[in-house]
Chain A
Amino acid sequence: MDRKVRYLPSAKSLALLTCLVFSFSAVMQTAAETIHRERSIYRDITVVQNGNRRCLVFNVHRGDRNQTCVEMNDRDRLVFSYTRMSFAGLLLQPQPKTILVAGLGGGSIPMTLNNLFPEAEIDVVEIDQAVVNVAKEFFFFEENDNMKVTVSDARVFIKRAALRGRKYDYIVLDAFGGDYIPEHLLTREFLSEVRTIMAADGVLVANTFSTSRFYDHESVTYQHVFNEFFNFKLPSSGNRIIITQLSSLPPRGELVTRAQNAADRLKRYGVPLLEYPARLSTRIDWDMSRRVLTDQYSPANLLRDN
């Protein structure tokens, strides 16, 4: 803190200092301890432990949205709402045999899928080797015969998978860069490539944010490629999960039946599956006049704050 005090006390730096002190004291109050710090070429990775809760934090200064946590004494339980929400895809595809997860984070989504479906082949694609290392060292993530990690850009991985004619029953898009989802993973062309690796009855689950102006562009783009999708939002979460498949979406009755069938298996992970069918909405709550994001036009990360 000494170095900070030596700055000239302009209004701006004072404000910054106040923020720093405030966030610092907030951290102190909860007695979180930084147990590991790693700087990769993509971001700073911090592992923080607070009591029994251990978290992987990207972008500490921007708040805590991009992170995964694990309860050390109850490792199966999924701590975050959006992580639990990503299992709502099971309402559309209850028995996936091939799974692709783009974006590893702390590995809680692939690990849970591996526990639920030990026979399923799971491919995880993660751009940053450092994240893979941290997930293995601090978050109990392990590769096994059926679960493999590839260090690659998701777009490149999916393009190659398409060339090989690979099909997946369950695809989770959870790849986040510095601020948000990288631009080339938001475009019409990318989603068309994702379509080509979806099995006929496969489901796509995409984790996004429910933020202002960008929300419209993203929704219009998904709508353009998939015609319709379930918009899944919960009041407890700033995330919006997009769930879709190639064929037309099942009626709510079917979702409820599937939720009833699978709810017990998901209980130990803390996923309240029975509450989900009522929350899956096909109502259009975005501005349909927004431009579709394409490889030619994808200023996503500029639009986000507007």
Chain B
Amino acid sequence: MNQAKIQGIPSTVVIAMAFVSGFCIMTIEMLGARIMAPYFGGSQYVWGSLITIFMLALALGYLLGGRLSMRNPNPVTYAMFFIAAAVFALPIILFADVIMRPIFLTIEDPRYGSLFASIAMYFVPTCILGMISPYSVRLLVKSQEHSGHMAGQLYFVSTMGSAAGTLGTSFYFVLYFEVNQILWGSVAALISAGCIILLINYLLNSEASRSQAQNYG
């Protein structure tokens, strides 16, 4: 596919999706401690492990997302980040006990137990979610002059999403839903985000090829 043929998806969509990804990252993180408490307790170090792994995963995600954005940046890859993150978040819902039990049995010290459990459950989906931000910047930026402005806007919205996800989860969601129901909600949100991007991309491209066909026809 030639890049010139691809219509960029509207920046409002990219920015809205940044909100979704920020929201989901923090929803998953806030529930992380709750999920690990039955095996590793409610001690301070469970949060320590969790936050460390989220930070490392995001860091790597930023790096990889930035790299990927250098080669043929396109909305399909962008949409795949959302869908892949959702898929890799599924083990947190489906296999949390299967993952944590052997770690609990092998590692006596709950600090390292919770650290390894965090790696096993959260590293991959969080890393993929981390790729979204730099990739979004690349999709948004049309010129060098406004790149800073775009990046600022994007981080503003995604961080607002994170704040909303944190507050919503810890204040309200846990009051009405089970942990897994909230996680299914995040998975659904991420998959919907991916599908919406794909749909918009498809509509824009078919419109573009129609108008091209008219021009040459």
Contacts and interface: CB of A to CB of B under 8 A. Distances in A.
A213 B104 CA distance: 34
A174 B179 CA distance: 26
Contacts of B34: 183-184, 295, 298
B175 A153 contact: no
A290 to B, nearest CB: 13
A47 to B, nearest CB: 22
Contacts of A182: 37, 42
A113 B110 CA distance: 29
A163 B39 CA distance: 12
Interface residues of B, number: 20
Contacts of A302: 171, 174-175
B180 interface: yes
A299 B173 CA distance: 9
A41 B44 CA distance: 7
A154 B110 CA distance: 12
Contacts of A294: 178
Contacts of A297: 174, 177-179
Interface in B26-52: 34, 37-44
Contacts, number: 60
A303 B175 contact: yes
A152 interface: yes
Interface string B116-137: 0000000000000000000000
B41 A184 contact: yes
A155 B38 contact: yes
A180 interface: no
Contacts of A42: 44
Contacts of B178: 294, 296-297
A156 interface: yes
B105 interface: yes
Query: How big is chain A's contact interface, by range?
Result: 20 to 34
Contact of B110 (A152, A185, A303): A152
Interface in B42-94: 42-44
A155 B37 contact: yes
A153 B180 contact: no
Interface in A267-306: 294-299, 302-303
B171 A156 contact: no
Nearest to A190: B38
Contacts of A53: none
Given A155-B37, A159-B104, A184-B37, A299 B174 contact: yes
Interface string A108-130: 00000000000000000001000
Contact of B42 (A155, A189, A299): A155
A184 B36 CA distance: 10
A296 B42 contact: no
B174 A153 contact: no
Interface in A132-156: 152-156
Nearest to B48: A41
A177 interface: yes
A295 B179 CA distance: 8
Nearest to B170: A302
A150 to B, nearest CB: 12
A156 B39 contact: yes
Interface string B163-192: 000000001001101111100000000000
Among the interface residues A152, A163, A297, A298, which one has the most CB atoms of the partner chain B within 10 A?
Answer: A297
Contacts of A154: 41
Closest CB pairs A-B (n = 5) = A153-B41, A184-B37, A296-B178, A156-B41, A299-B174
24 contacts: A42-B44, A127-B41, A152-B41, A153-B43, A153-B110, A154-B41, A155-B41, A156-B110, A159-B38, A177-B42, A182-B37, A183-B42, A184-B42, A185-B42, A296-B178, A296-B180, A297-B174, A297-B177, A298-B34, A299-B174, A299-B175, A302-B171, A302-B174, A302-B175
Interface of A: 41-42, 127, 152-156, 159, 163, 177, 182-185, 187, 189-190, 294-299, 302-303
